[in-house]
Structure 1
Amino acid sequence: MNESLNRYASLDGKVVVVTGAAGGIGRSIAERFAGQDAKVVVNDIDADAAAGVVASITDAGGTAISVVADVSDGDSVAAMFDTVMAEFGTVDVLVNNAGLVSPMLHFFEADEAWWRKIIDVNLTGHFLCSHKAARIMAKAGGGNIINMSSGGATRAHRAFTAYDATKGGIEALTRAMALDLGPYNIRVNALMPGSIDTSGLGLDDRKLRGENVPLGRIGEPIDMTGAALFLASDDASYITGDVIKVDGGMLAQQRSATVDIKPPSDFPKVEDL
């Protein structure tokens, strides 16, 4: 068989840094990558929670370390990558997952401190981590950066002014980095999560949110991991500067299901087909 047709990545031996990996999407990606034999760096500002993720990975037979760092602080980011290099000697994949969603504030309630904090963590954090990782990758002959966008990059949430601004910036940053880093064999792409339950919503809230998703359910953090694994793999070796939506079809619709002219409740029943 042609080897080029049978090259799907295990991530065997690759060093993967996942920021904001103490919970939610970041944790799921870290655990999934570790299950594909990657050496995973679990970054977060919560030392105890990050250590818990490492314990989960190592208990399952994987390889992981935790590194506490604030992605919005350049010195902290530099120290994190120094630790990674001392431990593993390289960085093959960076998943820029760390970000702030809250506090939710209406535009009139917002102030400069709120704006700057979200911009610094969500957007500047992507830049700082990528800037350090890309230099390591270039010297090693290549690498892979995966950024974390949102539907807010191209649509808008109410009371999420700063958050949506950062996500639009992240998609622009992804495209610009892909152009600058392509000649160094570094691919840069982004994931766009839809409505993902990262906090353990109650059944009523899950049902309500799921009604407006074409696939009929709210997403789980594990739903993000397949697309992340694909982008990190050699199967995506000719993909860069792109954004993959993992949203159950939310952005494909013009109107949400609850206000559509013919809602799913009026669709033909399976037993009548």
Structure 2
Amino acid sequence: MNRVEDKVVVVTGGARGMGASHVKRLIAEGAKVVVTDILEEDGKKLESEIGKNILFIKHDVSNASDWENVIEKAEAKFGPINVLVNNAGIDIPEINLEEYPEETYRKVIDVNQVSVFLGMKHVVPSMKKAGGGSIVNISSLAGIVGVNKKVAYTASKFAVRGMTKAAALELGEYGIRVNSVHPGFIRTPMTEALINDELVNMFPLKKAGEPEEVTNLVLYLASDESSYSTGSEFVIDGGLGAQ
């Protein structure tokens, strides 16, 4: 318990699924958490359920003005930010490259990649005030290996991995650590329809991951336990990428 006691944490895409798992555990471990999402109803419901040390803000992660609003309100409520978990992301069904609509490609890049750039950019001044911090960028196994017929998703997740390393090099002198997390198939509302026995049998561990298993890794990176880790990728995929 209390592994992130009194740390101020922002979790994007935190209203449900994997993000909500992160939020609940971080608060249970002593953090004050700002939850952001476009899913206002889900976010307010989560805020009501937890009741303490939580603030929900409706947030389009691809919008710079929205990021400014989140940082301002987070600091006003809890103080300078210690941890940012860039969790928000989208995926779409498989599309052949030659048929891939440009507007769809750009939408995936905006939500999955540009949002991470904006989050890191806008949180740095607050983390400097806090005397340092930890940025946890949620990428994917698709940021380590290519995924067939998912060119935009793969591009965005590889980019998050690279941006993480560049930011880590720049921000280390300020005591700000930046790492990426690369989940494989985790059972969430976004992936539930894709998980079946045939797919699961491909994994060395013969099971899909659960949000709480990713949360354990996020908590480690948010805490001071990971104080010498920066610019690294942490893969949690049941061994799928090892094949």
CA distance in 2, matches of 1:80, 1:71: 10
Q: Secondary structure at the match of 1:108?
A: helix
Write the letter of the residue equivalent to 1:144. S
C-alpha separation in 2, matches of 1:192 and 1:160 = 16
Match of 2:60 in 1: 70
Q: Which amino acid aligns with 1:29?
A: H
Give the secondary structure class of the aligned counterpart of 1:90. coil
Residue 201 of structure 1 pairs with residue 192 of structure 2: yes
Runs of at least 4 residues off by over 4 Å: none
Q: For residues 171 and 215 of structure 1, what CA distance do their matches in structure 2 show? A: 25
User: What letter is aligned with 1:236?
Assistant: S
Structure 2 distance, partners of 1:205, 1:232, is: 29
Q: Which residue of 1 aligns with 2:232?
A: 242
Could you tell me the TM-score, scaled by structure 1's length? Answer: 0.85
Quote the offset at 1:48 in angstroms.
Answer: 0.6
CA distance in 2: counterparts of 1:43 and 1:65, whole angstroms: 8
Counterparts of residues 212-251 of structure 1 (less than 5 Å):
212-251=202-241
Retained in 1: the 8 A contact 2:195–2:208? no
Match of 2:14 in 1: 21
Aligned positions of 1:1-273 closer than 5 A = 10-58=3-51, 62-199=52-189, 201=192, 205-253=195-243
| 1:237-271 deviation digits (Å, cap 9, x = unpaired) | 00000011111111112xxxxxxxxxxxxxxxxxx
Larger radius of gyration: 1
Cα deviation for residue 222 of structure 1 reads 1.1
Q: 1 CA distance for matches of 2:11 and 2:204?
A: 30
5+ residue gaps, structure 1? 1-7, 254-273
Where do 5+ consecutive residues of structure 2 fail to align?
Answer: none
Bigger Cα displacement from structure 2, 144-153 vs 47-56:
47-56
Percent identical among aligned pairs is 38
The 8 Å contact of residues 171 and 177 in structure 2, kept in 1 or not, is answered as: yes
Structure possessing the higher relative contact order (Cα contacts under 8 Å, 6 or more residues apart)? 2
Whole-angstrom distance in 2 between the partners of 1:82 and 1:91: 10
More displaced stretch, 149-158 vs 218-227 = 149-158
CA distance change for structure 1 residues 205 and 145 in 2, over 3 Å: closer, same or farther? closer
The alpha carbon displacement at 1:154 in A equals 2.3
CA distance, structure 2, for counterparts of residue 77 and residue 103 of structure 1: 28
Letter in 2 for 1:56: E
Greater Cα shift, 168-177 or 213-222: 213-222
For residues 21 and 84 of structure 2, the distance between their equivalents in structure 1, rounded to whole angstroms, comes to 15
Q: 1:129 to 1:207 in 2, by over 3 A?
A: same
| Distance in 2 between residues matched to 1:213 and 1:12, nearest whole Å | 36
